[in-house]
Amino acid sequence: MKIDINKIKKLRNITGISIIECKKALIATKGNITQSLDYIRKYSKIESIKKSKNKTKEGLILDYVTKNFGILLEINCQTDFVAKSIELIKFGNNILKYIFENNQTNLSIIREIFDKKRVKLIGILKENIFINRLGCIKGEFIGKYMHHSNRIGVIIRSNLDNLLLMKQISMHIAMLKPDYIQKKNIPINIINHEYQLQKNIALKNNKSKIIMQKIVEGRIKKFINNITLYNQKFLLDNNKTVFHFLNENKMKILKFICFELGTNIIKN
């Protein structure tokens, strides 16, 4: 069956898939554009099953931040080339827009809502696409920092409406990656586990109990300082801790979320 080249071009413009695949769809549907779109969606679904076995280690972090609502989204794909594609970025931004407009922050529901579009995108880009992580913060005041390569994103909630200070703290979090805001936020089981570990290490040195206790306490203090935002040396001024910098500016950090691409890859 001979297919009008203009129909092939039109179908290609709508779907973004190859000329050969467009022609195949048109032949199968006897030149009907509307039916061809349904055919391609069906084809894309088959394609997505094949692609879903491929590992997604690349991707991008996207954000949507207003004064009182912050969203971080991680979408994974297989290659850096696809991660930079307009189609994938647009897909991510549409998800962010939907989350904000509908106040829907349940990742499972978001995956379900956008699954058909994800499957279609797999058919177009020829790579597995996966909506990996979603993080949200609500309440005044929200700040952010996004690494220029979209590989690291941070959103924070503060007690002050100061975007510059919030950006500086967010940048610090992106670079030094604390796990908690301050000591009281660390679960007791994590501290106990570290204490036991350091105690076992110290026992091997055959020191007296007093010296051993001091060694363990010193290492626990260092451990806490390393994983808590307030106790870390401030990125932009190593003469101060983050706590001292915040205190000087009468600022508190109430919550933060940091996503780094590839640090929480889910099998998909």
In the prediction, which pLDDT does 267 show?
A: 42
Average pLDDT of the chain to the nearest whole number: 89
**Alpha-carbon gap, residue 110 to 98, rounded angstroms:** 9
Same domain, 70 and 160: yes
Residue 179 has pLDDT above 70, yes or no: yes
157 — pLDDT class (breaks 50, 70, 90): very high
35 — pLDDT class (breaks 50, 70, 90): confident
Residue 113 lies in a domain: yes
Residue 200 has pLDDT above 60, yes or no: yes
Same domain, 9 and 126: no
Residue 118 has pLDDT above 50, yes or no: yes
Same domain, 105 and 164: yes
Residue 268 has pLDDT above 50, yes or no: no
Same domain, 63 and 44: no
In the prediction, which pLDDT does 46 show?
A: 55
Q: Is the model more confident about 268 or about 222? A: 222
Residue 65 has pLDDT above 60, yes or no: yes
Two tokens at 80?
């850096």
Two tokens at 190?
């994590």
Residue 141 lies in a domain: yes
Same domain, 146 and 67: yes
Q: Which residues span the domain enclosing 133? A: 58-181+243-260
Residue 224 lies in a domain: no
Residue 29 lies in a domain: yes
Same domain, 161 and 39: no
DSSP letter assigned to residue 65: E
In the prediction, which pLDDT does 54 show?
A: 60
**Alpha-carbon gap, residue 54 to 128, rounded angstroms:** 6
Tell me the chain's radius of gyration from C-alpha atoms: 25
Q: Is the model more confident about 189 or about 197? A: 189
Of the three residues 51, 66, 87, the one that is the final residue of a domain is 51
- Among 34, 12, 38, residue whose Cα is nearest residue 23: 12
Same domain, 15 and 106: no
Residue 235 lies in a domain: no
Residue 45 has pLDDT above 60, yes or no: no
In the prediction, which pLDDT does 11 show?
A: 81
Instruction: Give the number of domains in the chain.
Output: 2
Residue 123 has pLDDT above 90, yes or no: no
34 — pLDDT class (breaks 50, 70, 90): confident
pTM here is 0.77
Residue 187 has pLDDT above 90, yes or no: yes
Percent of the chain whose pLDDT exceeds 90: 63
Residue 186 lies in a domain: no
Residue 268 lies in a domain: no
Residue that has been written with the tokens 């979320």 in this structure: 257
Same domain, 80 and 43: no
Q: Is the model more confident about 190 or about 50? A: 190
**Alpha-carbon gap, residue 20 to 186, rounded angstroms:** 57
CATH number of the structural domain spanning residue 101:
3.30.479.20
Of the three residues 35, 51, 67, the one that is the final residue of a domain is 51
Kindly give, in sequence order, each residue whose CB lies less than 8 Å from that of residue 222, ignoring residues fewer than 6 positions away.
none
The residue-averaged pLDDT of 201-229 equals: 87
CATH number of the structural domain spanning residue 28:
1.10.8.10
Same domain, 84 and 151: yes
Same domain, 28 and 148: no
19 — pLDDT class (breaks 50, 70, 90): confident
**Alpha-carbon gap, residue 67 to 212, rounded angstroms:** 50
pLDDT in tens, 94-110: 999 999 999 999 999 99
The residue-averaged pLDDT of 194-216 equals: 83
